[in-house]
Chain A
């Protein structure tokens, strides 16, 4: 992610929103996005080589795992031949790359089903869970942060700090089981596991999002406090704007840049963190798909899912860069 270059010079964005400036900004942004998109395939090539090498260097024999612990050596050898695992590494990678270009990610050793199909099935579930978790973190975290910035060292402030410590130190599977025990087992409000209705989504999304609530609140708080001490806030107040207007229009907008940055970074982390939550709640997502594949060295599944994760993270970072421009048109990329 490019470091945004910007200077706070004005108490208003009026100049930046002038038509010719806006057009110039959009054009610069367009070229930037284009440049990023061009480098994407190169980056993916790098990722695919790295993943391929790592998978072949870590111990564990995919053919034996596919055959099962009771299989004879002959069966294992046959599976090696069927999947081309007996060929030289470079040749294997060549075949893989050729298929990849055609949109074929290979087949799972375990289920014999195409990896693209597994990803198409699991990725939407993970995305749904991650977005829901993110929304929870934001919807709870940002207002809490603003509130505690406006009332420093108050009750909300202390709550945020203690929740932050708890959220960071509690492992996801523990929080998940705890929530399940209380809300599914004791209270019976929601189903314990699975995916289907919106009620199934609540617990996994909370488990994923809660640890980030406090983090977002603290981040919002410290940035708000910084901005609130700026000159332009005083100017805005001096020209007679009400506090709510100053906070929402001037302070929040300036404070949101670092929040968006962290949001982008955390989104990738949430995608990865989803694996544990998906296992606890039997959520049919891509994280679980990948972790299960790693356990049995299901090479093509691991490769495919890592590539999709990589593309997602790149896409999110790109989106974050675009959002910078929307929030603060003074930001340019060179």
Chain B
């Protein structure tokens, strides 16, 4: 029962007649005990239900229920990849050919059989430039997908691609029903068909999305009979939805609301580590941050405990490395930068004996990350305290993005060529390779700081073709250590903590560092 356009308009044009509008209350309360409808409120809406083109967390939470991927991560530790739609796989000696044996007897929700042709169709679709998928470049190492027999598919890569399995485990590598994609055309994004434990029941954008259990699922059947996802942008309104019993789960709870949820007899707050780290990127192409000693020095100028306590109500962690918990390949814990303004002042005096007299230009967005502007203001205060003159500018997010990623003729995006010395950003990428390469490889387009460290470049280049998982993760750990102790590219601020409001008695949430939550095994007492 997919929502069709004509149905949506017809219903809404009748919206003025209240009696009619009253007829479609979400799920009758009377049947609540007979069936378990898990009601989730989140801050933003699902943007599209076509996994290939989406990058939004609310959508990916839904994809995990509707779709399967060839392989998947075993659990939130992100250290083992296990079979999903592929039962087993092997790679050739040269690391260029991967053979996947597919699970037999799996059917999509529209009864299309899942087979090697379906895998080929999906991978070629995301690689097609006309689809315009923002995820396309992640698949660019794939040169060919061959159907060896109905249950065997071979993926050929241009160069050895150690991250292939990790990419195939991402939500955007979800396997869609080829029949449905061809049939729905542009409207496929509203009528997704997968193989997963749930299937789409109804989606009214900006209002609610309902999925129901797939009775023929090949794996462990989902526990809730239905799930209803609703976007409620206002954080305080999400809290009220939860405390009044209108929702079972409220995602992205602001720190200041946690007490209210805890005080309520029937609700509680779940704290989970987050892969999001917030930092100031430092422009390494010009003074004062061209010298790594100054970059290290400013890391000692900040009282992170005070920022976390006073601004974040205690809900943040002092970073012990550039990878927070919940990121793949997190190296050994580093020593947190101690708050020592005298040490910072001395380190800076070594580089600038007469002091640094130009203003340091600080940029920050407002309202994008938790308390971003307040945190940035605090940092400005700390930098002033060690003798820097500072200039402060607050940006609207879209303008900020454009300014930071401004293309330079012949150089791709600007590498440190903008007018600022430091700018606040955050990242929650859980993939080790992607997280490091974007920011620290000297040739990557997303390397905005102009960071160039030959040893880091060398380690990353070696890792990018290293087919041995263990030695590759070791290389990433080495990179993390060099960056933390010798040549940082940023002033790290804090690791976020995920705050999720739940009704008491709710069990079985699987929370990933990047705010993806799996709900299919959730039970309620």
List the interface of chain A (C-beta within 8 A of B).
Answer: 58-61, 64-76, 78-79, 82-83, 107, 110-113, 117-118, 120-122, 124-125, 127-128, 131, 173, 177, 180-181, 184-185, 188, 191-198, 201, 279-282, 284, 288-289, 295-297
Contacts and interface: CB of A to CB of B under 8 A. Distances in A.
Contacts of A122: 206
A80 to B, nearest CB: 10
Contacts of A111: 47-48, 189, 205
A192 B246 contact: yes
A120 B12 contact: yes
A193 B246 CA distance: 9
B21 A64 contact: no
Nearest to B236: A177
B295 interface: no
Contact of B189 (A65, A113, A279, A282): A113
Contacts of B53: 112
A66 B205 CA distance: 18
A19 to B, nearest CB: 36
Contact of B230 (A66, A71, A194, A197): A194
Give the most central of B232, B237, B397, B429: most A CB within 10 Å: B237
Interface of B: 5, 8-9, 12-13, 15-16, 18-19, 21-22, 24-26, 47-48, 50, 53, 55, 129-130, 132-137, 186-187, 189-190, 204-208, 230-234, 236-237, 240-241, 243-244, 246, 396-399, 401-403, 405, 407, 412-413, 427, 429, 434, 438, 444-446
Nearest to A119: B9
Nearest to B5: A117
A196 B27 CA distance: 11
Given A59-B399, A128-B16, A120 B207 contact: no
Given A69-B401, A78-B129, A110-B47, A279 B234 contact: yes
A126 B187 CA distance: 24
Q: Which 8 residue pairs spanning A and B have beta carbons closest together? A: A60-B398, A284-B206, A73-B445, A61-B402, A59-B399, A82-B132, A198-B18, A124-B12
A181 B136 CA distance: 45
Nearest to A289: B206
B401 A61 contact: yes
Q: At the interface, is chain A mostly helix, strand, loop or mixed?
A: helix
B237 A192 contact: yes
B413 A282 contact: no
B15 A173 contact: no
B397 to A, nearest CB: 7
Given A70-B55, A121-B9, A185-B244, A79 B207 contact: no
B21 A66 contact: no
Contacts of B241: 192-193
Given A110-B47, A113-B190, 6 more contacts: A65-B398, A72-B137, A110-B48, A120-B5, A124-B15, A127-B16
Contact of A295 (B232, B398, B413): B398
B170 to A, nearest CB: 12
A65 B237 contact: no
A72 B18 contact: no
Contacts of A192: 237, 240-241, 244, 246
Contact of A79 (B12, B132, B243): B132
Contacts of B8: 117, 120-121
B333 to A, nearest CB: 26
14 contacts: A68-B55, A70-B434, A73-B445, A78-B136, A112-B48, A113-B187, A125-B15, A177-B237, A192-B237, A194-B232, A195-B21, A198-B18, A282-B233, A297-B398
Nearest to A62: B398
Contacts of A131: 16
Residue of A112, A120, A196, A280 contacting most chain B CB atoms (<10 Å): A112
A279 B236 CA distance: 12
A275 to B, nearest CB: 11
B205 A177 contact: no
A60 B399 contact: yes
A66 B134 contact: yes
Contacts of B244: 184-185, 188, 191-192
Contacts of B233: 279, 282, 288
A194 B9 contact: no
A128 B187 CA distance: 27
A193 B47 contact: no
A269 B401 CA distance: 31
